[in-house]
Structure 1
Amino acid sequence: MTTDMSNSVLSVRNAVKRYGPVRALDDVSLEIGDGEFLTLLGPSGSGKTTLLTAIAGFTELESGTLDLRGTDITSQSPDKRNFGMVFQGYALFPNMTVAGNIAFPLKVRKWNSSDINTRVAECLALVQMEKFADRMPGQLSGGQQQRVALARALSFRPSVLLLDEPLSALDKKLRADLQWELKDLHRQLGVTFIYVTHDQDEALSMSDRIVILKDGRIQQIGLPDELYNAPRTPFVADFLGKSNFIEAEVTAASAGVAECTAGGERFCVATAAAPAAGSTRKLALRPERVRIGAPGAEPFTGQIRQLSYLGERAHVIVKHAGLGEILVSCPTWKAGITPEPGLGVSFGWDSDACVFLEDA
């Protein structure tokens, strides 16, 4: 999806929230497009959950504003915002049936019985839980409970759905299955999803855009492939996936290409804006962009120090005399060599594999 920011549904402007000396939100501004799947990603303490709860109305901002389709909602109570919310811990009413849980928000909004029954049936079908309408939450698996929580949050047709790490309590396979279901649900409904996670793979696989936060500040916003392939800072490059970092001297620069030296080796970096010759810059190099082969097959030589076999891929740490340790991620079915600790190998990468980083 390409998000049209001229059709913004929600604007966060200069949001500040402190807890004692800690700035949980430090002048955060953000436009959220109508119907997009936006993920707030960051480590613990980055401010992502504070931002989500501020949008929901559960956290009061010290300064800054929230605007919903042209209306200032900064001081509006959570119930007036009419946003759906899905929590990590499901938060289902244990004494109500599945159907009763889904019906609850509609009863609070004083829907009539006929409309409630119709909408509950629609929501049960939406999350494939029709056969469980009369079950109690304690009789359901974790994945089933989360489906009910999702159906309840969508029952009153909110314009925005807020999801606070909703899959983190589930096992790996179930999480992967529900990621597909959530993304498909978003596509069907066209509702704006604002999703909080600390899981990088989850963010990359599900999002239209990702907002990366650290220490209460936005580090970078972009499409998943933009952030992964063109991180701006060492933090983004290291947090979103894995990266090798190389301190390189730019020895020459021309249109679109910078010639660099590092660790006694020379190589070229393709770049739209080459740094000035004579400068020293940090480069990020993704492990899957490094080739590994028999001695002589690639320009640089090293020795395998460590190996992790992951099934379809192997992570190999190659020790180079000048560059240090380089992490290589290679598909095991066409590696070209059989990696093992102590083996002498060659390695290299294409000129467009590295990215110049800004100072952190």
Structure 2
Amino acid sequence: MTDPILTISRATKRYGPVHALDRVDLTVEEGEFLTLLGPSGSGKTTLLSAIAGFAPLSEGRIDLRGRDITSEPPEHRDFGMVFQGYALFPTMTVRDNIAFPLKVRKRPASEIKKRVEYCLGLVQMEDFADRMPSQMSGGQQQRIALARALSFEPQVLLLDEPLSALDKKLRADLQWELKSLHDSLGVTFIYVTHDQDEALSMSDRVVILKDGRIQQQGVPDALYNHPRNRFVADFLGKSNFMDLPVRGREGDALTCAVGDTQFPVEAPGAEVRGDVLNLALRPERIRLGAPGEEMLDGTIRQVSYLGERCLVMVDHDVIGPLLISQATWKEGVTPRAGLPVSFGWDSDACVVMEAEPA
């Protein structure tokens, strides 16, 4: 395994009494697509700004391939940056915008021309080279911003919510393009977003932050399927949470109870404190059936149709409201408000939650 391109050690950023970053340790691998994910105020943009050199750390250290760059100004770090608001020069053509970082670095004119043409091709914008930014759509401007950030072959590309200003369909299209571009170039991407779908669909690894601290990190499917605590489970997708009494344990299998109904929960390595288990259960892991088909009975309160899926809110007299996600194509039960139903899940469907970090 190669050494990481970036190593961040105990990174702390204080604004008065507020810790925007609180002793963050993180490594970034060469060529990785790493996403910093979290709600507003979680510290993700502050961490990206610290890596870029725009927000000097109060404490801690940042190393680039083993070299301390903590105190280096942004222009010496040689990182590309793509902003949410594009930040294109309005009085320059597309071609001149892309050429600007190369001219600042005093590259030869022949090299500049070659790199500009290459970068226009990367983002499929060759036909727009002589237009002004105001003559292009938001998606086109973002492609040019990306081409400009890549023009000088940066060691790391930093992307601060670059797609958040675009409409849903265009965002989805550009997600595919960004991922494809990363795969073809092999440049290290560090991407900031609050959009869970973006993080899951594009990233090699996702780092979830809250209150300036890392809550959990890992590959997308591991994070989604095995969230560590309630914050991660609730922020990365939808989850139902249940505090249920434990009736027994045999090896990695726990027996929990809902009223008079007992059911197994596979919980390898889970630490159980006391006699109550806090469980997270994804809506798509719950089966919906006719009364008596599954282990618990309830009544549908509300249905939301979403095209390929529908969200069904079911009331149960012990658990309370439970959200169920069901495919609309050839569904077993056609849900409607007031309909009596049953529901259940497999023994490995629930995830045991850890206590929230202090």
1:243-282 superposed matches below 5 A = 243-276=239-272, 279-282=275-278
Corresponding residue number in structure 1 for 2:37: 41
**Residue 204 of structure 1 is aligned with which of 181, 200, 225?**
200
Q: Report the Cα distance in structure 1 between the residues aligned to 2:249 and 2:218, rounded to whole angstroms.
A: 28
Corresponding residue number in structure 1 for 2:297: 301
SS in 2 for 1:65: strand
Deviation (angstroms), 1:143: 0.2
> Aligned letter for 2:217?
I
**Residue 227 of structure 1 is aligned with which of 194, 200, 223?**
223
Structure 1 unmatched ranges of 5 or more? none
> Aligned letter for 1:289?
R
- Scaled by the length of structure 1, the TM-score of the pair is 0.97
Deviation (angstroms), 1:274: 4.4
> Aligned letter for 2:25?
S
C-alpha distance 46-263 of structure 1, shift in aligned 2 (>3 A):
farther
Deviation (angstroms), 1:212: 0.3
C-alpha distance 80-274 of structure 1, shift in aligned 2 (>3 A):
closer
CA deviation map 1:71-101 (0-9, x unaligned): 0000001000000000000000000000000
Corresponding residue number in structure 2 for 1:175: 171
Deviation (angstroms), 1:173: 0.2
Aligned length: 356
Question: Which consecutive aligned stretches of 4+ in structure 1 deviate over 2 angstroms post-superposition?
Answer: 262-265, 274-279
**Residue 353 of structure 1 is aligned with which of 332, 349, 356?**
349
CA deviation map 1:310-335 (0-9, x unaligned): 01000000000111111000001132
Corresponding residue number in structure 2 for 1:85: 81
CA deviation map 1:137-190 (0-9, x unaligned): 000000000000000000000010000000000000000000000000000000
1:1-360 superposed matches below 5 A = 4=1, 6-276=2-272, 279-360=275-356
C-alpha distance 280-100 of structure 1, shift in aligned 2 (>3 A):
same
Q: Report the Cα distance in structure 2 between the residues aligned to 1:190 and 1:313, rounded to whole angstroms.
A: 36
> Contact between 2:80 and 2:149, CA under 8 Å: does it hold in 1?
yes
SS in 1 for 2:314: strand
Q: Report the Cα distance in structure 2 between the residues aligned to 1:72 and 1:274, rounded to whole angstroms.
A: 39
Percent identity (aligned): 67
Structure 2 unmatched ranges of 5 or more? none
Deviation (angstroms), 1:344: 0.2
> Contact between 1:164 and 1:197, CA under 8 Å: does it hold in 2?
yes
> Aligned letter for 1:348?
G
- Scaled by the length of structure 2, the TM-score of the pair is 0.98
C-alpha distance 35-277 of structure 1, shift in aligned 2 (>3 A):
closer
> Contact between 2:261 and 2:295, CA under 8 Å: does it hold in 1?
no
Q: Report the Cα distance in structure 1 between the residues aligned to 2:161 and 2:139, rounded to whole angstroms.
A: 13
Please give the root-mean-square deviation of Cα atoms over the aligned residues, in Å: 1.0
